[in-house]
A and B are shown apart, each in its own frame.
Chain A
Amino acid sequence: MKAFTYQRARTPADAAAAAAQHPGARFIAGGTNLLDLMKLEIETPPHLVDVNGLGLDRIEPTQDGGLRVGALVRNTDLAADARVRRDYAVLSRALLAGASAQLRNKATTAGNLLQRTRCPYFYDTNQPCNKRKPGSGCAAIGGINRSLAVIGASDACIATHPSDMAVAMRALDAVVETVRADGATRSIPIAEFHTLPGDTPNIENGLAAGELITAVTLPRPIGGTHIYHKVRDRASYAFALVSVGAILQKDGTGRVAFGGVAPRPWRVEAAEAALAQGAKAAAALAFAGAKPTEQNKFKLVLAERTLAAAIAEARA
């Protein structure tokens, strides 16, 4: 691990200012992904700003009947919150499907959104990777890519976003709140938070240097049956090959976001309009324009079948 200086921030604005003063600085909260990457020297921040003391660890009701989830709320606590279990069950289910209990006890809401891909070529520093080293190429495209993206990728990168939580957040139309070093705040709809790789897969979101996530807001509950189906190589503690986060209403309408298939949670509103016609029609629209590889084209079939299972469960 490269040496770094370390400071504990006291307020969100202090943290943002501290990060802005140290080029290349990173915020650290749970550390479950960043430290792993620092050990491999994939991340080499010269300065860490510890944000654990900022007090952003509460879940509070919003004025319009939703919930404001502090950036530092641990995955365990968000999944176990009685209001989330009752009104946003897709989010509880997604969180509980991810990682292990030890990791969920540490990992935070904001950190989960910012976690990096688990593409094996991103992790292998002997291999070219445009996300890790821009311009070096992509070893995944001609390599072992069974686990990687089938849609939304580019000629530069076919990595997937690994988060389960973000898939549920996307189905729920969550909003990400941030603060910058100058104190300015903004709200970013989750649909616009993660960017597609294009020619710059090293850029994964629109946050400015030193911009700190302070909360994620969930709009007022929309009812329906909440389902999160995750298909993976092991029964537990593995990343998704395909996941489906769905909120399905009795009249056949609903919302669906897919995980494990794209560089960001994949939701196509036009596909949701076809949900009443069944999984085949909806999946065809959700994955229109998909460019799977020979090794991962099974994901298209798997996604349709996983959606069919979710629809069947909601009707049962």
Chain B
Amino acid sequence: MIDSSDINQARRDLLIGGALSATAAALPPMASAQGPETGQAPAATPAPVTARVALRVNGQRYELDLDTRTTLLDMLREHLRLTGTKKGCDQGQCGACTVIVDGRRINACLSLAVMHEGAEVTTIEGLGTPGKLHPMQAAFVKHDGYQCGYCTPGQICSAVAALDEIRRGIPSHASADLREKPLLSPAELRERMSGNICRCGAYSNIIEAITEVAGTGGAA
């Protein structure tokens, strides 16, 4: 298990430092602000409720004791330090947190980590590496399927799973006939990728990248 205390410590120091520099001139010393003249002890913060979850991420097994409130996204980023998966809206609207769980793409922000006992999670780090890119990663590079890159890990995980959904014959809103095999048309791909927002507007290049991978059958 990864010990995350050092990263948390660094953040805490940063926050304290920032708070002091902003407020030192305006406020009396901390002791008097919380002193006996208020007649009240500060409200005690109850210890967080924790639960244990065991799961696999990118082929590696983890067993974690987590605050029950921890989302799958925060588990990946804050506890496993897999920061490739991004937090955009944190409410299931932007798709930046898209990961593949048991073969299906989901929004990691709208799922509790403790609900994934026994799950197999694949993040952008598990799809490919800088030295050995997944075909979808290579295609995004080749077709310039991004500008700032923040949505890109979610776009790529989503695109890989979208092609798998087409292969499995899952229809979409853009499918003209529900009972025919879905097409690999731009209209189909745009509809299937509508859960991934790109604020830079790289959509046309993203569709070109996915189309190329679909054509070569290299999405596996």
How many chain-B residues does the 8 Å CB contact rule pick out? 42
Report B-chain residues with C-beta under 8 Å of the C-beta of A3. 46, 48-49, 67-69
Question: How far is A140 from B48 in the complex, measured between Cα atoms in Å?
Answer: 36
Interface string of B73-109 (1 = CB under 8 A from A): 0000000000000000011100100100000111100
* A39-B91, A85-B178 known; A97-B173 Cβ under 8 A: yes
Question: How far is A101 from B194 in the complex, measured between Cα atoms in Å?
Answer: 8
Name the CB-closest residue of B to A34.
B110
| B117–A102 touching, CB < 8 Å | no
Name the CB-closest residue of B to A53.
B117
Question: How far is A219 from B104 in the complex, measured between Cα atoms in Å?
Answer: 30
* A35-B110, A36-B91, A106-B106 known; A79-B194 Cβ under 8 A: no
Per DSSP, chain B at the interface is: loop
Report A-chain residues with C-beta under 8 Å of the C-beta of B48. 3
Report B-chain residues with C-beta under 8 Å of the C-beta of A31. 110-112, 115
| B104–A105 touching, CB < 8 Å | yes
Question: Is A76 close to B, CB under 8 A?
Answer: yes
Question: Is B71 close to A, CB under 8 A?
Answer: yes
Interface string of A225-264 (1 = CB under 8 A from B): 0000000000111000000000000000000000000000
Q: Give the number of A-B contacts (CB < 8 Å).
A: 106
| A106–B49 touching, CB < 8 Å | no
Report B-chain residues with C-beta under 8 Å of the C-beta of A89. 178
Name the CB-closest residue of A to B187.
A235
* A4-B69, A86-B179, A100-B95 known; A28-B171 Cβ under 8 A: no
B80 to chain A, nearest CB (A): 20
Report A-chain residues with C-beta under 8 Å of the C-beta of B114. 6, 50
How many chain-A residues does the 8 Å CB contact rule pick out? 36
Question: Is B170 close to A, CB under 8 A?
Answer: yes
B179 to chain A, nearest CB (A): 6
Question: How far is A3 from B158 in the complex, measured between Cα atoms in Å?
Answer: 31
Question: Is B136 close to A, CB under 8 A?
Answer: no
Residue among A86, A92, A103 making CB contact with B107, cutoff 8 Å: A103
Question: Is A93 close to B, CB under 8 A?
Answer: yes
Name the CB-closest residue of B to A1.
B69
Report A-chain residues with C-beta under 8 Å of the C-beta of B162. 101
A-B contact pairs, 16 of them (CB 8 A): A3-B48, A3-B67, A6-B112, A8-B117, A28-B112, A32-B107, A35-B110, A89-B178, A92-B171, A102-B92, A102-B95, A102-B106, A102-B158, A106-B106, A235-B194, A236-B194
